[in-house]
Structure 1
Amino acid sequence: MASSVIKSGALVSLEDLHPSSPHFKQGTSLRVTGKLQEYSAETAIAMIVDGSAQLKINTEHLRNLSLRLGSFYQFIGELLIQPDDNEAILQARVGRNVDGINLDLYHQSLQLLRQFQADHQKNPTT
């Protein structure tokens, strides 16, 4: 019997998600956070932004999430890349409202986490 493993979503800021990023691969599992700028109930496509970066989110599998423009959300899902225009959309499997989050502190914590992981890879015994 085949088992499917659901990978945890790698923490990625929207500004770090670009075509030359190691996370910009078909099927990569990601966790992203941003402010809801647009949402279409007909297509279930949302657009979140963080600074000058933006990402489309397919919310069709999120049944109990109420989306409000201007609120902050965090999504976990798999990145789907359109081969013809290199446009990315996250197929969300989890979503939650994170209103009240301090994005500056969130970005600082991401930087500290990356620094810790890089240091740990260089010297795994400490």
Structure 2
Amino acid sequence: MAAIKSGASVTLLELQPSSKYFKEGASLRVTGKLQEYSVETAMAVIADLGATLKIDTQHLRELGFRIGSIFQFIGELHIQPNNGAILQACTGRNIDGIDLDLSYQSLQKLRQFQAEHMKSAAT
């Protein structure tokens, strides 16, 4: 597996076919509650805000998967023929106890700051 790229933080709701983040090979950081996990296939499903995403965890070691726990994964997005997607995770962690609402507010503030900074740097 190649070196880990920094992943753009996105919400699961943002991973729609019309999104700028919905690209083959995009390096992403996603967070969600573990809904399903199969030891046999190393596939997980996380959910948040009514959206779900399949996570391929075959490259992860010693990560205790508990249904209902909140996980964050960084990896590459692979688009499926039916406009579905699977994140090939290269790292993951349990982040139980995080305040997801505060996390989303922080993400919005970061994006706002970056947009303003890019705008002022262009002038």
Give the shorter-chain TM-score range.
Answer: over 0.9
- Using the TM superposition, give the Cα deviation of residue 6 of structure 1 relative to its aligned residue in structure 2, in angstroms: 3.7
Q: Percent identity?
A: 65
**Aligned Cα root-mean-square deviation (Å):** 1.2
Q: How does 1:1-126 map to 2 (within 5 A)?
A: 6-82=4-80, 84-124=81-121
User: Where does structure 2 lack aligned partners over 5 or more consecutive residues?
Assistant: none
Distance 1:65 1:5, change over 3 A: closer
1:42 to 1:5, Cα distance in 2 relative to 1, 3 A? closer
How many residues align structurally? Answer: 121
The AA in structure 2 aligned to 1:94 is T
Letter in 1 for 2:68: G
Q: 1:96 to 1:116 in 2, by over 3 A?
A: same
Q: Give distance in 2, aligned partners of 1:30 and 1:60.
A: 17
Q: Secondary structure at the match of 2:110?
A: helix
Judge conservation of contact 2:59–2:90 (CA < 8 Å) in 1.
Answer: yes
Secondary structure in structure 2 of the residue aligned to 1:123: helix
Using structure 2 for the length normalisation, give the TM-score: 0.94
- Where structure 1 has 5 or more consecutive residues not aligned to the other structure, the ranges are none
Length-normalised TM-score, structure 1: 0.92
Q: Runs of 4+ in structure 1 displaced over 4 angstroms? A: none
